[in-house]
Structure 1
Amino acid sequence: MQSRSPAKRADAERNRGKILAVARAAFAGSEPHISMAEISRRAGVGMATFYRNFASRRALLETLWTDEINAVCEAAETASGETPGAAFTAWLRQFFAFSTSKHHIAAELLADAADAADTAGTAGTANGDRIDPVIGRNRARVRAAGQPLLAAARRTHEVRHDLTLEQILDMIVAIATINGDQPYLEPIFQTALDGLRPPAADAKPS
């Protein structure tokens, strides 16, 4: 079979990019239940083009989720600040921005996983949660990316030692699901960051 010309490949990439841009904006805003037909219409592509790129709604959601996780993991490699603690905080802020804009996608993926488990008659995880495989796999990637930042911040006594990275990230995800806009959520998030500092007795001596 003859391969597509460079011009056709470029056109296909543009169409895929337009679909993702429209979907990303819709799910980050107030349209988590937007239809695939509406995404296709706003992107200016036909449904056939849409389904050539994404065979299902789930395929689109998985791509959006994984693309953002890639960005979060890459940010961990380039996070910077005046101190290791500042670098860790900067990365947590990026993770918070991701969590607030993508919690609708996570909710739909988890609901889909729960429905599939119910249909198959399988049990959830040990704590009763059913973790979607895409979310579970990418959670592990985020933890692996952020662990060196946390370790460095602990070595300089800027982050307490009694919380794991998973607990810290779970706290941020929980804040991101609170019903409220950014000005409402920001002081809550900042309070959580303040709580990561070690107690005075454990702080590095001056």
Structure 2
Amino acid sequence: MIIRSPEPEVKILVDRDPVKTSFEEWARPGHFSRTIAKGPDTTTWIWNLHADAHDFDSHTSDLEEISRKVFSAHFGQLSIIFLWLSGMYFHGARFSNYEAWLSDPTHIGPSAQIWRASGITSELQLYCTAIGALVFAALMLFAGWFHYHKAAPKLAWFQDVESMLNHHLAGLLGLGSLSWAGHQVHVSLPINQFLNAGVDPKEIPLPHEFILNRDLLA
């Protein structure tokens, strides 16, 4: 007689399509509050419209719904951060004298250049970084929509400490820190050694070559 251990019960921790995607509410500012939805009486309405939009406790008493809104709002915040970073890199590429200063730092004054330490040696790389940040901003915006409208976690997932730690610590802090550390060691440090040695920035290999080119890795 073979005794088999009972198979673990598979728990479904997400709801599929819990909230319909609709743009109709965009035409009704303040739809989340009866007072604000009545329309503006004074300029206070404008401030309340922005302040109460993320006061989720006043929208509903459902803890699961509040948790989902907070979770998706985090992705929206990350999207705004990436958009801000994209703008910073774009303005640095478009309006600064970074390349000129990098080629002759003793005679050309800097305009708040901070990208040398990151291993960036041209305006093209700044533009590419700006476009990459825009892509990540779009991905974060999609992730916020997806985790609220298409596959929203259940309350049990939010209350599971292991799940939350895996997401926040492993995903955000762990991978983020390792990626930045790897960039600093394998890309930024070699490029800055070339620059300190007086090598023309245009002759320095592109950043990705320090990771993909085995000759440079050696």
Q: TM-score, normalised by structure 1?
A: 0.30
* Bigger Rg over Cα: 2
Q: TM-score, normalised by structure 2?
A: 0.29
Higher relative contact order (CA 8 A, sep 6+): 2
Q: Which structure's residues are more often helix, by fraction?
A: 1
